[in-house]
Amino acid sequence: MVQEPHHTHAVIATDTVIFTVQNGELLALFIKMKKRPFTNRWAFPGGLIKSDEDLPSAARRILREKTGVVPAYLSQLGAFGRVDRDPFGRVVSVAYFALIPNDRLALATSSEYGGIAWIEVKKAKHLAYDHSEMLAVARSELQRQIQNTTIASSLLPSEFTLTELQRVHEAILGHALDKRNFRKRLLMSGLVKPTHKKRKGLPQPPAVLYQFIKAKPKASRSL
Amino acid sequence: MVQEPHHTHAVIATDTVIFTVQNGELLALFIKMKKRPFTNRWAFPGGLIKSDEDLPSAARRILREKTGVVPAYLSQLGAFGRVDRDPFGRVVSVAYFALIPNDRLALATSSEYGGIAWIEVKKAKHLAYDHSEMLAVARSELQRQIQNTTIASSLLPSEFTLTELQRVHEAILGHALDKRNFRKRLLMSGLVKPTHKKRKGLPQPPAVLYQFIKAKPKASRSL
DNA sequence: GCAAAAGTGTTGAAAGTACACCCATGA
DNA sequence: TCATGGGTGTACTTTCAACACTTTTGC
């Protein structure tokens, strides 16, 4: 994750936890490490920021350079600065969490990088650096934001059925939700509106497609 | 706030917004700037972190060095990294917010620094750097945490009356609260317990003194 | 006696939670 | 015809919000 050690002052990096939901599973994007002492362990894509770029710009650039992914949503988690967090030098990392809809995943999975993979969050263990801690923070922040904002719009195509949206919430929260209560609350909230289209071709009654009313959710603070 | 410019990479600083509540007013601690372009404007105490100290340690050290204050509570707000936020160089600041009870304020106000002052938050305008933005974030985080945690214990002496506690909540939230509902909720929550002492000597009936059940609140994440 | 805060319950509204059945479709 | 999810309403519980008066004390 980091190349330059041995400054008198700490250097600044970003690491980004990018999530998607696919087939009812919450996935995050990892890069497999080569360097000791983290050989063959997974880490989030990260790198050093440049002196002429904002923090979110750095996070986006590094994510694109290392994985080809362009996130739909990006929000800061905070700074991670334990002295011993990086064995290669004194690095303070500003962590971000990001989202991408599961219909734009091809970009990432078709990347040439050998060591990139979307991994089920619940199976991601023994990560490099302090990334297990980052993942825990990212996950709880995701759980918090999914309930209070429209960030789910960054995890789904622009049109979706209410059941698809419910599956996203369930994957993130980690437990089943009641269908009638979920729909009631969602429709009351005024965040989504029905289109006049339906999802057909499945062995079920056609489901109405909905869309979020404001296309792009705003980060609470995306510094 | 910062002395060293002109690295090829950004340097890392911390700035700390420290609050207290006194006489029903929310106050924060500021230092008056001398350097242009911020001459005579207020800023939060801040400085560069050292390569061998954790972020919270750096925040505490700098706060102590610049103001003499030792906070009772410290919690990270996040990293502020706009490219142009500091005219003296590329500095990313990890902001903290901190609390101190109003019976330990003497340390700070008796400091020799000429340019230090506790200022009512609602009167703090036109701050140096991006500190107005930091203050807004700190204030909303304070409002969030006061409702969900026991951090109020870091703003009061160890024993206090329920009215004193209510005044702290009101100062932070910026509006009056209903006395009966406030007491009901608080006593139900189980976070405080009555002592057997009473506050006497005032032209009122003696009020029961309470204390928080866990002395020190834990930061949600104090990296 | 008066100013100032202590202490104390009830009611109505709103929000949240649990729960079950029939229907349309594609294979 | 069958498996799959689509769509729909009610009753109960819990939580939140509004609201006023009497008492004790120091001056």
Does residue A113 sit in helix, strand or coil?
coil
Where does the pLDDT of residue A223 fall: very low under 50, low under 70, confident under 90, or very high at 90 and above? low
Decide: A15 and A1 in contact? Cβ < 8 Å: yes
Is the minimum distance from the CB of A183 to strand D below 7 Å? Answer: yes
How many angstroms from the chain centroid is the CA of residue A9? Answer: 30
> Using the CB atom, is residue B200 less than 7 Å from strand D?
yes
CA separation for the pair A147, A145 (Å, rounded): 5
Confidence at residue B114, expressed as pLDDT on a 0 to 100 scale: 54
User: What integer pLDDT is reported at residue A215 of this predicted model?
Assistant: 52
Residue A139 pLDDT exceeds 50 = yes
Tens of pLDDT along chain B (223 residues) come to 444 444 468 999 999 999 999 999 999 999 999 888 999 999 999 999 999 999 999 999 999 999 999 999 999 999 999 999 999 999 999 999 999 998 887 655 545 555 899 999 999 999 999 999 999 999 999 999 999 899 999 999 999 999 999 999 999 999 999 999 999 999 999 999 999 999 999 999 999 999 999 755 555 555 6
Q: How far is CA A11 from the centre of its chain?
A: 24
Contact B81 A10 (CB under 8 A): no
Using a CB-CB cut-off of 8 Å, the residues of chain A touching B81 are 12, 49, 54-55, 94, 223
Nearest-5° Cα angle at A200, A194 to A206: 60
Q: What is the pLDDT of residue A127?
A: 97
Among A7, A81, A221, select the one facing B55 at the smallest CB separation.
Answer: A81
pLDDT, tens only, A175-211: 999 999 999 999 999 999 999 999 999 999 999 999 9
* Residues B10, A12: C-beta atoms closer than 8 Å: yes
Summarize pLDDT for A59-91 with one digit per residue, the tens. Answer: 999 999 999 999 999 999 999 999 999 999 999
Closest chain B residue by Cα to residue A221? B137
Number of H helices, E strands in chain A: 5, 10
Q: How far is B54 from chain A (nearest CA, A)?
A: 5
Name the closest residue on chain A to residue B4, using Cα atoms: A9
Of A86, A91, A68, give the one whose Cα is nearest residue A12: A91
Q: Contact, A94 vs A53, CB < 8 A?
A: no
Instruction: Enter the DSSP assignment of A205.
Output: P
Instruction: Find chain A residues with C-beta within 8 A of B221's C-beta.
Output: 78, 137
Q: What is the pLDDT of residues A14-66, one digit of tens each?
A: 999 999 999 999 999 999 998 889 989 999 999 999 999 999 999 999 999 99
Query: What gap in Å lies between CA A74 and CA A99, rounded to an integer?
Result: 7
Gap between the Cα atoms of B124 and B27, Å rounded: 9
- A43 close to A29: Cβ distance less than 8 angstroms: no
Average pLDDT, chain A: 90
Please give the torsion angle defined by the CA atoms of residues B42, B126, B60 and A2, in that order, rounded to the nearest 10 degrees: -130
Q: What is the pLDDT of residue B36?
A: 83
How many other β-carbons are positioned within 10 Å of the β-carbon of residue A93? 32
A186 touches chain B (CB under 8 A): no
Whether A167 has a pLDDT exceeding 70, the answer reads yes
Q: Which of A73, A172, A92, A101 is closest to A134 using CA atoms?
A: A92
Cβ-contact A80, A1 below 8 angstroms: no
Is the pLDDT score of A7 beyond 90?
no
What was the pLDDT predicted at A115? 85
**pLDDT at residue B35, as a whole number:** 85
For A119-128, what is the mean pLDDT? 95
Token pair for A113: 């990088």
- Protein residue closest via CA to C1' of D23: B205
Asked whether the whole model's pTM tops 0.85, one would answer yes
Q: How far is CA A178 from CA A44, A147, A181, B48, in A?
A: 34, 15, 5, 51
How far is CA A210 from each of CA A77, A163, A187, A218, rounded to the nearest angstrom?
A: 30, 10, 10, 20
Identify protein residues whose C-beta is within 7 angstroms of any atom in strand C.
Answer: A 178-181, 184-185, 200-206; B 161-163, 179-181, 183-184, 198, 202-208
Residue B217 and residue B150 in contact, taking contact as beta carbons nearer than 8 Å:
yes
Helix, strand, coil: what percent of chain B each, to 5?
Answer: 30, 30, 45
Nearest to B219 by CA among B29, B16, B76: B76
3-state helix, strand, coil in chain A (%, to 5): 30, 30, 45
Q: How confident is the model at residue A109 (pLDDT cuts 50, 70, 90)?
A: low
